[in-house]
Structure 1
Amino acid sequence: MKINALRSFKWVSSSLALCILVILVLLPLLLIFWTSIYSGQKLDITAPLRTITGNSGLMKVLLNSLGLGASVVALTTVFALPLAWIMAKSDIGRHAWLDVVLLIPFMTPPYIGSMGWMLFMQTGGYMEQVLPSSAALTPYFFSYGGMVLIMSLHLFPFLYLLLRNALLQIGGGLEEAASVHGAPFFYKVRRVIVPLLLSSYGLGVLLIFVKTIAEFGTPATFGRKIGFYVLTSEIHKYISSWPIDFGKATSLASLLLGVCLILWYIQTIISSRYSYRLVGGKGIRSKHYAAKGALGFFSWGYIVLLLLASVGVPYFSIITASLLKLRGEGLSWGNLTLSHYAELLSPGSPGLQALINSFSLAIVASSIAVILGTWLALIIGKGTAWRQKWTDLFSLLPNTVPGIVLVVGLILLWNARWMPVPLYNTYGMVVLTYVVLFLPYTVQYVKASYGQIDSSLMQAGQVFGGSKAYVFRRILLPLILPGMAAGWMMTFTISGRELVASLLILPPSMQTSATYIFAQFEQGAVAMGMAMAVISVGVTTALLLVIQYLSPDRKRRQL
C-alpha cells in the first residue's frame, strides 16, 4: 500500500510540475506562433515569412540581425582564441585571479557597457578630452563596426572559457606524441589541436550567434544612435510605441524564435556526435610554455589591452560620468562631486524608489524561483520517465529562447480576454516574468547538487528510523542548499538589472534601476543614470562576494 501511495504521489507531482511549466513557458511561445499565423479570419502558416519578405524594411532588419551575429562571432573568435591559448598553454594561466577579472565584461549588463563606450568615444567624450587628436576616430566608431566591437567585448569571455577548457582537456601527451613522430609545430596545431578543438568551438560559435541576435540592450542604445535596427529592437518598437502592431511583432518574434531553436538543435547534434573522450584514468598532463621574453611581453600585453577595452573603458566612463558636476567642463578635479549619489539616494527620490523597486522585485522573484526550481529539480532528479524528461526540457526552455520573445508571449497570454486572472499590468506580472525568465538557473544548480548525492545516504536515514520529512530536512536539504543559494543569487542578480522585460511589462509610473538608467541616458541626465549603474552593479557584485565567502564549499576547501 505504501509503495502504491508513493508511486501515486510521484505521478501526481510530476504531472502537476509538467502542467505548470506548460502554462508558464510553453503556452506563451505557442501563442506567439498562433498569433503570427492566425489573423482572426483565416489560418496562414506562411504569414510570418510573407510579412518579412513583403516588407523591405523588415527584410533589412532580418539581414541586419543575421549579419551582426556572424560579425560578432568572427571578432569574438579573434579576441577569445589567442587568450584561451595563453591561459591554457602558458604559465600565465596559473594566475587564477585573471579568470575572475576576465568574467567582468560578461557579468556587466550589455546596455551599461555600451553606454560607457558611447560616453568615451562620442564627440567631446573622455577620449577626446585626453587625446584631442582622437576626434578623427569618432565617426569610425559610431558605425556598424563599433557595434560589433562593443558586443564582441561583452561576449568574448563566454567563448574564451569554452576554448580554454577544451585546450586543457587535450593535455600535452598528444602533442608530445606528434613531436616524437617528427611533426613540426604548425602541423601539430593543424592535425591534433584544431580537430579536437573544433567541437567546443562550434558549440561556442552557435551560442555566441544566438546571444547576439537575441540581445536587446546594445541595439536599443548604440544601435538606435547609429540607425542600425535588428529583430529585438523592432519587436520592442512594435509593442511599445503607438500604433501598436502585435501582428508584425509576433511575426518577427516567431521568426527569431525559429532561428534560435534551429541553432539550438544543431548544437545538440554537434555535442552528441562530434565530441571526443580525452579524460582517462591516467589523468591529464598539460604542457605549459614559459611566458618569458617576447612571448611573455606579447601575451601580457594582449591581456592588458583586452582588459582595458572590455573593463577599463566602460567602467572608467560610467564612474567618471557619475561624478561630474557639469559635463561641459570636462575632466578636472574641481568638476568632481558626489552630489548625484546623494540626490539619487535621498528619501523620496525617483532614483531611490526605482532602486527599492528593483531589489524588492528581485527578492520576491528569486525566492519564488528557488522554491519552484528546487521542487522541479527534485522531481526531475535522476529519473528517466517521459514526464521527467519533458519537465527537464520545459524548465530549461527559457534559457534557449530570446528573452524578448518569451516576454511577448507572456504579454499575449496574461493580457488575453479569456484569461480569468487579471495579472497583466500589475506588480505580480513583473514577478511572474522574472520567475519564468530565470527559473532555469535554480533548476540547473539544484540538479547539479542533487545529482552528486548518493541515494544510500537517504536510505541510511530511513533505516535508522527517520521519517521522509526528517531525511529531507537533515540530509537532503543541507546537501542541496549550496545549489539553492547559487540559484537564488543568480536570479536576484540578473532580475535586478533586467531591461527588456522591465521596459515591456512594468505598470505605468513604476521604474526599476534598469529602466531608470535607460530613461536618464535617453533624456540626457547621464550623471544620474550612471550613478544608478554604479550602485546597481556595486551592490550585486558585493552580494555575490558575500555569498561566495559564506558558502559551505569555500569553508570545506579551507578545511
Structure 2
Amino acid sequence: MSAAQLNSPLDNNPVGGKRSFSSYLNFWNVVTVLLFLTLAVSLLYPFSSLIYRSFLEKGTGSFTLANYKDFFDLPYYYSSLKNSLSVCITATILATLLGLPMAYIWTRFDIWGKKTINIMVILSLMSPPFIGAYSWILLLGRNGFLTKLFAGIGIEVPPIYGWTGIVLVFTLKFFSYIFLYVSGALKSIDSSLEEAAENLGVSGIKRILTVTFPLILPTISAGALMVFMTSLADFGTPMLIGEGYKVLPVLVYDEFMSEIGGNAAMASALSVIIIFISVAILLIQNLVVSRKNYMMSALRPPKVRKLTLGKKIAGTVFCFLIAGVAMAQQVVVLITSFIKTSGPIFVKGFSLGSYELVIHRLSRNITNTFLYSAIAIVIMIILGLLISYLVVRKRTKVTGLLDVLVMFPYVIPGAVLGITLLVAFNKPPIVLSGTAGILIMAYVIRKLPYTVRSSTAILHQIDPSIEEASINLGVSPMKTFFKVTALMMAPGVFSGAILSWITTINELSSSIILYTGKTSTISVAIYTEVIRASFGTAAALASILTVATVISLLLFYKFGGDEISI
C-alpha cells in the first residue's frame, strides 16, 4: 500500500499517533453530530414520549399497565387488531395474485403498450388510497352510478362498504407494489437457470412456480411487505368506506380525537402496538429471506418472447384491464368534478361550479398543501444529500445507526407519527401543536427515506477519486461536496425528491391528526368534504391533486429516468 493510499484525502485519520481534539472538528463529524441531535429531537424524543404516555393512567397520570390490559381484555379494542390483520392479509394475497402474473407477462412477452401500462400502474399507486375509496363510493355507494345503473335492470349490487370495500380498494391500489418490484427483478434474473430447468423437463407454469418465482422470493416478499405495511398504515380508506368496521389506525384516531375528551394514553398504547406489529412483520420477512441464498450472476438476462397474435391480444387485454380498473379512480373523480351539483346532490349537466367553489372557499388548503410540501422537500433534499454521503462515504457503526434511524419512520403509520409528534410537542419545552411547523416536521420524517435511498443509489455510482482530485487541488472537503459531489448526485436526488413530493402532497394520515383550521391541507379538505357529502368539491380537490401528481411524474420521467424505483 502506498503512502498516498494511507493518507487518502477523504480519510481524516492520520497514520499512527493519537488524534488531537481539533482533528475531530472537521465538517463531516460536525454534520454527523448535528444530524443525530436533529433526529434526537424530532424522532427519538417523540417516540420515547409516546411509549412513556402509553403507561400512564388517564386522569391521574400514574404508572399503569391498564391500557395494554384493556386492549387484550376488551373486544372493542382487540377486535380492531383482528380486523386490521384480516384486511391486510387478504389484500396482500389478492394484490400478489394480481401483480405476479401481470409483472411476468409485462416483462417476458412482446405485448402492446408496455410504457402506457407502466405509467397507468404508477399513476394508480401515486394517488392517495382514500381517493380510491371515494371513487368507489361514487360508483358503488348507495347512490352510486353503477348501483343505480344495475338497479334499473333489476340487479342488486352488494354494498361496497365495510370489509369488502376496504379489501377492494387496498388490492387495486397496492398490487402496483408487487408489479413494480417483481417486474424489476424479472428483468435481471439469470435466464440460464430457467433454461436449465427446461432442459430437465420442467417447463410452462411449473417452471415459473418452482424456479422463476422462488428465485425472486426476496423481491416478492419485499413487495408483499409493502402492501401489508401500507394497508396497515392507511387511515383514509377504512374511515371513509369502513362504516363501523374498525381497524387500528381508525381506532387510534377515535381514541385520540374523541369528543368526550379523548384518551391520549390509550391512543399511545394502540400506537405502540401498531409499531410493534410493523417491526415484527419486517423482522419475519427478513428471517424468511435470510434462510436461503438467492444470489445469481445475472450474466444472461432473459429475452422478451414473441407471442402469437391471439396470445398477444390476450396478454395485452389482461394487463390493460387490471391497470385500467386500478386507474379508474382518477378518471371517475376527474369526470365527477365537472358535473353540476345542487348542494350535495349531482344534477344533469357539466360546469366548473365545483372548482369555483373550491377556489372561493378552500384556496387556503391548496396554498398550504403546496407551501408546506415545498418547504419539506427543500429540507429533505439537504438532509438526503448529507445523510447519504455519510452512509456511503463515511460508513461506520455510527453512520449505520443514522441510516437505521432515518429509515425507521418508513414502517410507521402516518396517524401514529402524527400522535407521536402531538404528544411530544404540545407542552414545553417545545410547543409546535397547531402550527405549520409540526406538519412540515411530520412530512420530512415520514417521506425522507425516499430521498435518502435514491441519493445513496446514485452516490454508489460516483467514483471517489473525483472528490479526491478536487481536494488535492486545494478545495476543502466541504466545498468539494457542495460544488462537485452534490451536483453529480443531482439526478438521483431529484428522482427521490419527486417521489417524496408526490407522497407529501397526498398525505392524509398524519395531517388529519396535526392540522388546525389555519393549517388544513387538500387531503384533509377532501376527507372533510366527503364526510359532509359535498362530493362535487371533494372531486374538484382530488382532481387538483391528481393533476399535480401527473405533472410531477412527467417531470420525473423527463429528468429522473424511465422507471420508478421503490
Q: Same fold (TM over 0.5)?
A: yes
Q: Residue 422 of structure 2 aligns with which residue?
A: 411
For residues 212 and 413 of structure 1, what CA distance do their matches in structure 2 show?
A: 26
Q: Residue 229 of structure 1 aligns with which residue?
A: 246
Bigger shift: 532-541 or 321-330?
Answer: 321-330
Matches for 1:8-23 after TM superposition, within 5 Å: 8-9=25-26, 10-23=28-41
Correspondence for 2:89 among 47, 66, 70:
70
Q: Residue 370 of structure 1 aligns with which residue?
A: 381
Q: Residue 557 of structure 1 aligns with which residue?
A: none
- Return closer, same or farther for 1:247/1:214 CA change in 2, 3 Å cut-off: same
For residues 38 and 343 of structure 1, what CA distance do their matches in structure 2 show?
A: 46
Summarize deviations over 1:58-98 as a string: whole Å, max 9, x none: 11111100111111112112211210221122112882332
For residues 343 and 274 of structure 1, what CA distance do their matches in structure 2 show?
A: 58
Matches for 1:129-168 after TM superposition, within 5 Å: 129-133=148-152, 136-168=155-187
Correspondence for 2:77 among 41, 44, 58:
58
1:499 shift after superposition: 1.0
Summarize deviations over 1:4-43 as a string: whole Å, max 9, x none: 5444324343233223212211222222222212436654
Aligned: 1:392 with 2:411 = no
Q: Residue 311 of structure 2 aligns with which residue?
A: 295
**Mapped contact 2:337–2:540 kept (Cα < 8 A):** yes
Correspondence for 1:453 among 459, 462, 473:
462
Aligned: 1:514 with 2:532 = no
- Return closer, same or farther for 1:300/1:461 CA change in 2, 3 Å cut-off: same
Q: Residue 471 of structure 2 aligns with which residue?
A: 462
**Mapped contact 1:322–1:530 kept (Cα < 8 A):** yes
For residues 508 and 94 of structure 1, what CA distance do their matches in structure 2 show?
A: 45
Aligned: 1:323 with 2:338 = yes
SS of structure 1 residue aligned to 2:201: coil
How many residues end up aligned between the 2 structures? 541
**Mapped contact 1:442–1:488 kept (Cα < 8 A):** yes
Correspondence for 1:485 among 494, 498, 504:
494
For residues 387 and 277 of structure 2, what CA distance do their matches in structure 1 show?
A: 28
**Mapped contact 1:151–1:212 kept (Cα < 8 A):** yes
Aligned: 1:525 with 2:540 = no
Matches for 1:139-218 after TM superposition, within 5 Å: 139-218=158-237
- Return closer, same or farther for 1:86/1:374 CA change in 2, 3 Å cut-off: same
Summarize deviations over 1:138-169 as a string: whole Å, max 9, x none: 33433422321111000001011222233333
Q: Residue 336 of structure 1 aligns with which residue?
A: 350
Bigger shift: 540-549 or 227-236?
Answer: 540-549
Letter in 1 for 2:225: L
**Mapped contact 1:329–1:335 kept (Cα < 8 A):** no
1:470 shift after superposition: 4.1
**Mapped contact 2:450–2:500 kept (Cα < 8 A):** yes
Q: Residue 239 of structure 2 aligns with which residue?
A: 220
For normalisation by structure 1, the TM-score amounts to 0.90
Q: Which runs of 5+ in 1 are unaligned?
A: 555-559
Letter in 1 for 2:340: K
For residues 257 and 511 of structure 1, what CA distance do their matches in structure 2 show?
A: 26
Q: Residue 111 of structure 2 aligns with which residue?
A: 92
1:504 shift after superposition: 1.1
Identity %: 23
- Return closer, same or farther for 1:271/1:136 CA change in 2, 3 Å cut-off: same
Q: Residue 507 of structure 2 aligns with which residue?
A: 498
- Return closer, same or farther for 1:278/1:308 CA change in 2, 3 Å cut-off: same
**Mapped contact 2:185–2:216 kept (Cα < 8 A):** yes
**Mapped contact 1:106–1:157 kept (Cα < 8 A):** yes
Q: Which runs of 5+ in 2 are unaligned?
A: 1-11, 15-19
CA RMSD, Structure 1 to Structure 2 (Å) = 2.6
For residues 357 and 154 of structure 1, what CA distance do their matches in structure 2 show?
A: 26
For residues 153 and 484 of structure 2, what CA distance do their matches in structure 1 show?
A: 62
Bigger shift: 239-248 or 128-137?
Answer: 128-137
**Mapped contact 1:48–1:254 kept (Cα < 8 A):** no
Structure with greater helix percent = 1
For normalisation by structure 2, the TM-score amounts to 0.88
For residues 345 and 357 of structure 2, what CA distance do their matches in structure 1 show?
A: 21
Q: Residue 543 of structure 2 aligns with which residue?
A: 534
**Mapped contact 1:196–1:276 kept (Cα < 8 A):** yes
For residues 151 and 115 of structure 1, what CA distance do their matches in structure 2 show?
A: 13
- Return closer, same or farther for 1:193/1:11 CA change in 2, 3 Å cut-off: same
- Return closer, same or farther for 1:140/1:221 CA change in 2, 3 Å cut-off: closer
For residues 450 and 259 of structure 1, what CA distance do their matches in structure 2 show?
A: 33
1:536 shift after superposition: 1.9
Correspondence for 2:322 among 297, 303, 306:
306
Matches for 1:543-554 after TM superposition, within 5 Å: 543-546=552-555, 548-550=557-559
